[in-house]
Amino acid sequence: MLKVSEIVKILDAEVLTGHENMDLEIYSGCGADLMSDVMAFVKESVILCTGLVNPQVVRTAEMMDIKVLCFVRGKIPGEAVIELAKEKGITVIATQQPLFICCGLLYSNGIKGRGVWD
Amino acid sequence: MSDNVVKLHYDIDAEDFTTAGEASSGVKKTLTRLGVNPEVIKRVSIAMYEAEINAVIHANGGVADVEITPERVTVVISDRGPGIPNVDKAMTPGWSTASNTVRELGFGAGMGLPNMKRYTDEMYVESEVGVGTKVTLIVNIVS
């Protein structure tokens, strides 16, 4: 488990929205650029790391009850995407780290929960 | 029991990809307001969102009709798209006919229909090439 504030520190990330959620506890994560792959595994208290920056990332997070989005590889989504996340109560952070390194850092620091494939 | 039935209708617009998912979002809000079990809400939301995205990326949009009763949620998404030539093949995880453009948008992983099946209690796909596709998704509230 990691708090969002710890994740921000580990990934040297910038908080784009959801500054009030820094104490939120995250137990599991996923890294993907294809949203249907994300939706194949249901988990709880999730961070989604992705290089995709369109509004459908926020929609996917909304449907999956994903609490935190982390945009990787230095990608910053447009204002409309951040606004949509804000409206849905989803915290958004951005890091320069590539996806693989981002997932590795989070896993080795304690986010080890995974979804179940039936 | 007709007073316990909630019916919703949405037009799924394909002109603006950024708005895709609004129908599913609306249904999720309604189910939350009705106090439906969160696990049921998540299953309906994911399955409907996948179907809604399919209507947008493959069929130039369509319509969604949702019926919520105390027993179950039924979502019917219909389009006048190209149809699915082989539904069994389309149900195979990883099978996709999506273009690279669609993949760049984050879809076309070939998990849409398998995900819909996984998260629903009943799923029916009726499709005719050149006519369109109708997907019915049913999630039981009371099993």
Identify whether A100 is part of a domain: yes
Q: In what order do the strands lie in the sheet with B6-12?
A: B6-12, B62-68, B72-79, B132-140, B122-128
Q: Is the pLDDT of residue A15 over 70?
A: yes
Q: Is the pLDDT of residue A117 over 60?
A: no
Residues in CB range of A97: below 8 A, 6 or more apart? A11, A12, A72, A73, A105
CATH class of B2-140: alpha beta
Report if residue A104 sits inside a domain.
yes
> Which residue of chain A comes nearest to B96, CA vs CA?
A36
Q: Does residue A92 form part of some domain?
A: yes
Provide mean pLDDT across the span B81-102: 91
Residue A114 lies in a domain: no
Number of domains in chain A: 1
Mean pLDDT of all residues in chain B?
93
Q: Is A117 inside a domain boundary?
A: no
Considering only CB atoms, which chain A residues are within 8 Å of B54? none
Compute the nearest-CA separation of B49 from chain A (Å).
8
A63 falls within a domain: yes
In which band, very low, low, confident or very high, does the pLDDT at A105 lie, cut at 50, 70 and 90?
very high
Which pLDDT belongs to residue A100? Answer: 97
pLDDT at B79: 95
Nearest CA in chain B to A50: B106
In this structure, the strands spanning A68-71 and A91-94 are parallel
Output the domain CATH number for residue A32: 3.40.1390.20
pLDDT given for residue A47 in this prediction: 96
- Count the alpha carbons within 13 Å of B104 in the hemisphere toward its beta carbon: 3
pLDDT in the model for residue B4: 86
Q: Do B21 and A59 touch (CB under 8 A)?
A: yes
Contact residues, chain A to chain B, C-beta under 8 Å: 33-37, 39-40, 42, 50, 52, 54-57, 59-60, 62-65, 80, 118
CA separation for the pair A57, A88 (Å, rounded): 12
B123 or B99: which carries more pLDDT confidence? B123
The pLDDT value given to residue B101: 85
Distance CA A86, CA B134 (A): 34
Q: List pLDDT tens digits, range A51-95.
A: 999 999 999 999 999 999 999 999 999 999 999 999 999 999 999
Domain that holds residue A40: 2-108
pLDDT value of residue A118: 47
Contact at CB, B106 and A63, closer than 8 angstroms: no
